Structure 1
């Protein structure tokens, strides 16, 4: 498509302003189509949002709440609108803490998606979060959120699992599904297939050991930490190893921490 094949706005009229802090507007533009025709283009001008895929002790939190426009309960990843002037990464941390009580030490950007590209200006910023400490939730007025913790397999294979009734509600939010998809690729690159939820500790620990033993020196260690958490974080011994790695991340003791983690995971894989 050449540069000439673009829409062009002539003028815009705001018909209604409302929502949180009056940041949602119903607008009608007079626009020129690529074929030269002038048309009215109604749309919703909305603030950008965030969706956060957090991993904590081998599990991922999902939130379910009733959504007025669809008149049904929708399950998605934690998230919400970005405050005016707020950095998207800060909004991701804030929304995660408000809805689940998880306070993340870092978030990893997964890119953006247009949530309703022909009807709304909203763009969703996607993040992976880790190094979390669990605290109290702090919901906004009017929110009634139920949190469900699931395994990576339940989340990544959610459509198949839902068909067979393994979970009551599958992810029904496009931005959340995009965050899962964009997490799958780096997880496969870091360590391949993750241990199954039914695997015992020695089996899961051996899979994690191979990842720490063969750790790519130029790979982003934050993604390796997430993979390890999904592999062994559900076990107290694994959570202890991950906590030490998180504390040492980026510091002078980081390499020694990785060496200790490798040794401990090998011992666990041997049943020690």
Structure 2
């Protein structure tokens, strides 16, 4: 019996290798369980992958494509495999640009998830992306991907009413769901609940003003930018304020930039009755 409570691999046999550069492998290990019994443990050894929650002017980039194993179209976040000797963040930037054309100025790691912990070694690295520049997509051979743009409330399962009306089916990819939930928790800590999807510009601007004017000095200011983007980035006036703020929020004129943004948002705002 193993006193450490762990499984221990004794041997491993690859039955089949395929996929990109033969990196997906059907494997059977001989493994010793915690009770000391040796068993055959079949699994798929797969490379790590990434998913990217990219916020761009009030909307989130989603991709829809047919998935062979499930024989259906699935809408999820952009992502793909991490290449050999590639860092996950590099893979996230590459996959986002290839599938949507977006080039992200910065990425915030959201941790990892094991998508099928008992049957596959795949680990998915999750990232939040912002301050993106639009460009042309560059799909790999064999890919047929359609980019969609969704509001936060379309994909946040906390807003069931919006979810049911905006998307025909719930977000089906487990890693994408994890990215949405983790990003949502961070954003709520920054500025509370985002304005409803049907909130008009004056009320959305008031919510954004309160965040810009009363930022937590300890919090990552990039998350404040994401919150503001989701709140008012879909409006031309909001996008203009964000563009100026993104260029100078972290420089020597950072505090003045936030103050100017707060003043401009206040001019657009309508305080709640």
Cα distance in 2 for residues equivalent to 1:254 and 1:85: 37
1:1-272 → structure 2 map (5 Å cutoff): 4-157=4-157, 160-161=160-161, 164-269=164-269
Cα distance in 2 for residues equivalent to 1:163 and 1:151: 10
What's the CA shift string for 1:57-85, capped at 9, x where partnerless? 10011111111111111111000000111
SS in 2 for 1:34: coil
Give the TM-score, by structure 2 length: 0.95
CA contact (8 A) 2:62 2:78 kept: yes
Cα distance in 2 for residues equivalent to 1:158 and 1:27: 39
SS in 2 for 1:231: helix
Cα distance in 1 for residues equivalent to 2:141 and 2:90: 20
Cα distance in 1 for residues equivalent to 2:213 and 2:147: 35
Give the TM-score, by structure 1 length: 0.95
Cα distance in 2 for residues equivalent to 1:15 and 1:251: 55
Cα distance in 2 for residues equivalent to 1:41 and 1:269: 60
What's the CA shift string for 1:105-135, capped at 9, x where partnerless? 0010000000110111110000000001111
Cα distance in 1 for residues equivalent to 2:9 and 2:167: 46
Cα distance in 1 for residues equivalent to 2:160 and 2:97: 29
CA contact (8 A) 1:158 1:170 kept: no
CA RMSD of aligned residues (A): 1.7
Cα distance in 2 for residues equivalent to 1:150 and 1:172: 15
SS in 2 for 1:55: strand
Cα distance in 2 for residues equivalent to 1:59 and 1:34: 48
Gaps of 5+ in 1: none
Question: Structure 1 stretch 243-252 or stretch 4-13: which is displaced more?
Answer: 243-252
Seen in structure 2, the aligned counterparts of structure 1 residues 121 and 162 have a Cα distance that, compared at 3 Å, is: farther
Cα distance in 2 for residues equivalent to 1:229 and 1:263: 16
Deviation at 1:174, TM superposition (A): 0.4
Cα distance in 2 for residues equivalent to 1:231 and 1:110: 21
Cα distance in 2 for residues equivalent to 1:164 and 1:212: 31
Gaps of 5+ in 2: none
CA contact (8 A) 1:17 1:23 kept: yes
Runs of 4+ in 1 over 6 A off after TM superposition: none
Cα distance in 2 for residues equivalent to 1:249 and 1:203: 24
